[in-house]
Amino acid sequence: MFWFTSVVVLLIALSANDVDAAKRFGKKKNKPWEDSDRDSENDLLVTKKVFFEMEIDDEPAGRVVIALFGDTCPVTVQNFAAIVRGNWRQDKRLSYNNTQVHRIVPDFVIQMGDVTEGDGTGGKSIYGNFFADENFYLRHWGPGWVAMANSGPDTNNSQFFILLTRARWLDGKHVVFGKVIEGMDIVDKMAEVDADDNGFPLEPIRIVDCGIIPVPTPYLIANPDAEPSQEKKKDKKKQ
């Protein structure tokens, strides 16, 4: 099962081509909206938004909207957004459409995004089988944060998870790249579905439609879950 670093005994190595691809797509350029006074943990730049129309036990459940932080994690966001749109690779289309939630851990996470096998044993990226951990700038601050699932360092593909709670012990192990900004009630509803001993839902939970929501101009949002920076803590003490 493609899962968290702390519970996986098999580590899958990145190929040299996958590493090179990730590096090529990871080169950052200065953006006109970059601000030297910006606090990376408290001011987050939304560059894209995606939606997932969810279905639980063959009944419509509602829409989940995720804000993506492409200025912070351009490689990861490009992979995620491309699979949301549907990406052709080696005569096979990689798409989250019609894939299912394959793991529920109550009060912790729901996991999905296996675009090849559908059961958590597969997945694929637009760069190859896997791509490298881009950075760990964003944290597992609380419910709604979205991160890449993996089986060890540098084994990201298409699988991802949505947090149901704060999980700072995952910091430095998984790349956080987005946050649910609409439909967290739908996420909570999915998390209430009973699962077997492996976390697989006993009622099917599927993505029946997905797509990109245009963001003509990237914009900053406040991060209410982040702790105040050291500078802000000092300012408060002075006051």
Confidence of residue 226 (pLDDT cuts 50, 70, 90): confident
The two three-digit tokens of residue 79, written as one number: 């992979």
pLDDT (tens digit per residue) in 161-213? 999 999 999 999 999 999 999 999 999 999 999 999 999 999 999 999 999 99
* Residue 170 bears catalytic tag: yes
**Domains of the chain by range and CATH?**
42-226 (2.40.100.10)
Whole-angstrom distance, CA of residue 121 vs CA of residue 111: 12
Q: What integer pLDDT is reported at residue 41 of this predicted model?
A: 63
Say if residue 232's pLDDT is above 60.
Answer: no
At residue 87, the pLDDT reads: 83
Q: Match 């946050």 to its residue by tokens.
A: 179
The answer to whether residue 15 scores a pLDDT higher than 50 is no
Residue 108 falls in the annotated catalytic set: yes
Is residue 51 part of the annotated active site? The answer reads no
Catalytic residue among 78, 79, 87, 150: 150
**Catalytic-residue membership of 156:** no
Which is nearest to 46 in space by CA: 222, 224, 219, 223?
219
Mean pLDDT of the chain: 84
Catalytic residue among 14, 68, 102, 103: 103
Q: What are phi and psi of 186, to 5 degrees?
A: -70, -40
Q: Which of 4, 52, 160, 161 is catalytic?
A: 161
